[in-house]
Structure 1
Amino acid sequence: MGDRVSKAEIDQASEIHVLDYLQTKGEPLLQQGDNYYRHAEHDSLVFNTNGKWYWNSRNTGGMGAISLARELYGMKFQEAVRDVNGLKITKTMDFSKDTNKEFIYPNHYEVSSIENAKNYLVNERCIDEKVVLALRKHDLIAEDKLKNIVFKWKDKVGKIVGADRQGTTKMENKRGSFKQIMAGSKSDGGFTLDIGRPNKIAFFESPIDLVSYYDMIRPDHIRLLSMSGLKDHTFTTGIKETIVECNERNDTFEKVIIAVDNDAAGEKFSQKWEQILGDEMLQIDVPKNKDWNDDLKQQRALERQKQNQIVPPFSKNKEAEYER
């Protein structure tokens, strides 16, 4: 009879909203106005809150999660149905038309321990355990019931205005693990870490790159801000807010630092803003490898290598040889 799926399986998969499916798969989505979302890595792939999608560069489109799974992942129809039904769908997308709706952080998803998050950040990402525990102490990270790390976006009064979720286990996708911006997060916000009295601001593509940079450089009096991608709106808002806060403290704002990935997209972003801001205000920090976490991993490997190269004590024969 061949490979088949039942009508009940098809009906079940057909009820899953395409955006909920993508969120659960860990695909990065950007809200574009009231009714549209765009894929952060395939900018011509757009989605309507009514469930329709269209991939402009491929001149193709469809309705629902099944058709999208076939196009995006190259699945057969039966594979797509099973993939949609096999996920624990995270229904976090807000399809209401109230764009001014306040972000509500889902506290009930948090667990009391951050053991999985800590193990991932320390052992997989090579971040100093003391840094991880400090982030926890200041309520900037948490762990949810699905063992994801939650990076909380907080405004200047400590209110949570959004969050990134980062998986701690491997997934079968090109990013290797689950990544998601929580639905309803402030469109021009991002994970922020303030050190001292910030009189400069540095921008990154992800919270883990931000923390890796801090762990390596340990800068003073700086605001570190993750754009969760390359977002002009977040970039400009971050600069304006930091300058305003400096003025309120009668401090002089020093500079903007772009510390995005060492790739074509990062270079294009840096060059664009270099032309706008000029050399005096802008500093560009480029990682040696693809990103700052790769640099941190390399640094930790070199540190371990040096520790292993400690000269052992002389053997008795060597001591006798040395005395002669």
Structure 2
Amino acid sequence: MIALEMIKKKSIVDVAGAFGIPLKRLSSTLYEQVEHDSFKIFTNTNTFKWFSRDIQGDVIDFVQLIAGVSFKEAIHFLDKGDFPEQEVQVLKLEPFRYYLPESKDFGSARTYLKTIRHLSDETINTFGRQGLLAQGEWQSDNHTEPVVVFKSKDHHGRLVGASLQGIKEHPDRYDRGRLKKIMKGTHGYAGISLTIGKPKRLVFAESVIDLMSYYECHKEELSDVRLVSMEGLKKSVIAYHVIRLASEEKGDFRFLDELDKGRLSHYLDVILQTTKYIQHHEQFLTLAVDNDEAGRDFIEKLKDQGFPLEQDLPPLDLLDGKTDWNEELIRRKLEPSLDDWLCQFYEERSQAVYSPRTPTLDL
């Protein structure tokens, strides 16, 4: 059996050289692809990231991307190739420092979530009861504004990050009109999660707003599940929550506490290749990501790597060619249902048939 641990150590720089990819060295641990300056290789973690396309991964993912091959074919290529091993440094994360002043009044945040995002009080309160929401004040460049704070907590309930959503529009300051920011120092692998019952499966969305919208659209059928916002498309978040759930089932978090958080995706691959843990859990992983090219590609990539996945995508907007769960929630709330339309139709027809006719004068 091929040891994935050893395969992952194959030097990504040397592998790039084997493919004839020209690299420019920027520092002792950072390389850049000459033809694509947003494509970076990090030798300290033996990983890459293509920032303009939001694609990242380890040396196996790199081979899959460059050669257009499957997970197994990439492993075979790396196993047979004469590539030196790259010493990988353990990622040392500093404790997250939450410095945002919070307001005792949640009114502006609630108004934004209800009127702009069309979320119900019940949904807002459900996330609030698990300590995931707050209203804060963001300060930058002599500018202060109210924000909705979405809090990220780890398996011990510790605050390890936060995402911020501006409440007021400032089109002169932000391309999207409102502030959207992940706080500095956030441990991105943890995501933002809501626990329902005793979780036996995991559902992943791209953003916390989409996660709240998915909850509202499906709350009647959700039990014993953990809903997770990846705050993007991040395999590391999926890995963390798979290992977290396995640790919860054992009642032992020592492995999760001690493992290198920079190699979570690697550990997920090991679990898939060496155990039947994921396969033994029915409908264990559900991807409720955006129905767009990036979301669908992310799902297909994981499937190609052998992950058994369920997908629950919002209905596609035929005009735009893409949609997310918040857009689907708003559509459901604003568009009348077929039953409502039929009731209105028959009511109007009934009035037309049985209302007295106004006599006309034959002049």
1:265 pairs with 2:294: yes
Q: Find out whether 1:157 has 2:156 as its counterpart.
A: yes
2:239 paired residue number: 236
Q: Quick one: structure 1 residues 137 and 163, their matched pair in 2 at CA, closer, same or farther if it must change by over 3 Å?
A: same
Deviations along 1:41-86, whole A, 9 cap, x unmatched? Answer: x99288xxxxxxxx998xxxxxxxxxxxxxxxxxxxxxxxxxxxxx
C-alpha deviations, 1:168-214, integer Å up to 9, x for none?
22243443421111111113111110111110001111000001000
State the 1:134 CA deviation.
2.7
Unaligned runs of 5+ in 2: 1-27, 31-35, 41-49, 53-90, 138-144, 253-279, 317-322, 358-363
Q: Can you list the C-alpha shifts for 1:248-306, whole angstroms capped at 9, x where unaligned?
A: 49xx743101111111111110001112234xx31011111410001100111135896
Q: Which residue of 2 aligns with 1:296?
A: 329
Residue in 2 that maps onto 1:223: 226
- Kept after mapping to 2: 8 A contact 1:199/1:246: no
- Tell me the percent identity: 31
Q: Does structure 1 retain, via aligned residues, the 8 Å contact 2:155–2:244? A: no
Asked if the contact 1:258–1:270 (Cα under 8 Å) also holds between the matched residues in 2, the reply is: yes
Conserved 8 A contact 1:198-1:246: no
**Equivalent position of 2:119 in the other structure:** 127
Q: 2:38 aligns with which of 14, 19, 44?
A: 44
User: In structure 1, how many angstroms separate the alpha carbons of the residues matched to 2:192 and 2:114?
Assistant: 19
Task: Please tell me whether the aligned partners of residues 130 and 194 of structure 2 are also in contact (alpha carbons under 8 angstroms).
Answer: no
1:180-219 equivalent positions in 2, closer than 5 A: 180-218=181-219, 219=222
Higher mean alpha-carbon deviation, 240-249 vs 151-160, is at: 240-249
Q: Pick one of 309, 313, 318 that aligns with 2:354.
A: 318
Q: Is the 8 A contact 1:194 1:222 kept in 2?
A: yes
Change (3 A) 1:246 1:303: farther
Aligned length: 230
144, 160, 163: which one aligns with 2:136: 144
SS at match of 1:111: coil
Question: Structure 1 unaligned runs (5+)?
Answer: 1-33, 37-41, 47-54, 58-97
TM-score (norm 2): 0.56
Query: Partners of 1:43 and 1:120 in 2: how far apart?
Result: 38
Instruction: Indicate conservation of the 8 Å contact 1:162/1:182, yes or no.
Output: yes
How far, CA to CA, are the matches of 1:126 and 1:206 in structure 2?
15
- How many Å separate the matches in 2 of 1:189 and 1:43? 29
> Superposed, which structure 2 residues align to 1:14-163 within 5 Å?
44=38, 99-106=92-99, 109-145=101-137, 146-163=145-162
* Structure number with bigger Rg: 2
Paired residues of 1:193 and 1:224 also in contact (CA < 8 A): yes
Distance 1:199 1:317 in 2: 56
Q: 1:200 to 1:317 in 2, by over 3 A?
A: closer
Offset at residue 158 of structure 1 (A): 1.9
Structure 1 letter corresponding to 2:335 = L
1:227-249 Cα shifts (integer Å, max 9, x gaps): 11111211211222122223449
Asked if 2 retains the 8 angstrom alpha-carbon contact of 1:246 and 1:253, the reply is no
Paired amino acid for 1:288: P
Secondary structure, counterpart of 1:213 in structure 2: helix
1:12-38, Cα deviation, whole Å (9 max, x unpaired): xxxxxxxxxxxxxxxxxxxxxx999xx
Coordinate RMSD, CA, aligned: 3.3
